[in-house]
Amino acid sequence: MNNPTPEAGVQPGDFVHRFVPGQAVESAPVLLLLHGTGGSEDDLLGLGHLLAPGASLLAPRGKVLENGMPRFFRRLSEGVFDHDDLVRRSHELAAWVRVAARAYRFDVRNVIAVGYSNGANIAASLLLLAPGLLRGAVLFRAMLPFLPETPPDLAGTAVYLAAGKHDPLVPVQQVEALAGLLEQSKAEVTLRWSENGHRLTPEEPEAARRWLDELKRIAKA
């Protein structure tokens, strides 16, 4: 008997979500939009349109509730993640993205995650646990979700990290550890610091947009 695939039994409706079809712009990616704590499937749609005009947008809502606020995985305290739940939820989300690709008929090989805070952390976890799922990632205020026993092979995966030097929730050392691990895993990493805290400055999405434009230009070359 064949073993079931990770997607067996997974349905598009397993996550409350929004899917916004793109405009079939050549080389436009599909953006997987992952909100922060307390957010929803609608939170990052505007950011997605700004980052990649014409791209399709796939935005799930996190299933975990913390004091009524949606998240993508549990944490034990501020900055301390429930590792087992993080791993389980990451695999669940990866399987759901593959199923959504079939349901909405987009190329799963052209998915770029865009995450903020909690959403950025589970996107980083997807990179580590499901290498090859994401073509790239834009991570706003991410930290190292966990340290894998063996670094994954992320050759050909591009990652943009936007971090605040004065972020009270994400220590500088955690950002540097994530960037270092991704580089060790052969990802193409761009780390951009701002003189800011956990909230984004207006300039940061624009800088990420330029990075994505360059990524698309390279893909077409």
Q: Tell me: the pLDDT tens digits for 117-143?
A: 999 999 999 999 999 999 999 999 999
Sign (positive/negative) of CA torsion 176, 70, 31, 54? negative
- Active-site pick, 43, 56, 125, 167: 167
Cα–Cα–Cα angle for 153, 158, 159, nearest 5°? 100
Question: Is the pTM of the predicted complex or chain greater than 0.85?
Answer: yes
Asked about 117 being catalytic, the answer comes back as yes
Report the mean per-residue pLDDT for the chain. Answer: 93
Q: What's the pLDDT at 1?
A: 38
**What domains appear along the chain, each with residue ranges and CATH number?**
12-220 (3.40.50.1820)
**Which tokens in the block code for residue 121?**
């952390």
The whole-number average pLDDT for the span 137-166 is 97
How far is it, in rounded angstroms, from Cα 115 to Cα 80? Answer: 19
**Which tokens in the block code for residue 107?**
């190329």
Asked about 198 being catalytic, the answer comes back as yes
- Active-site pick, 17, 83, 91, 198: 198
Asked about 166 being catalytic, the answer comes back as no
Q: What's the pLDDT at 2?
A: 46
Note whether 51 and 40 are within 8 A (CB). Answer: no
- Active-site pick, 43, 56, 90, 117: 117
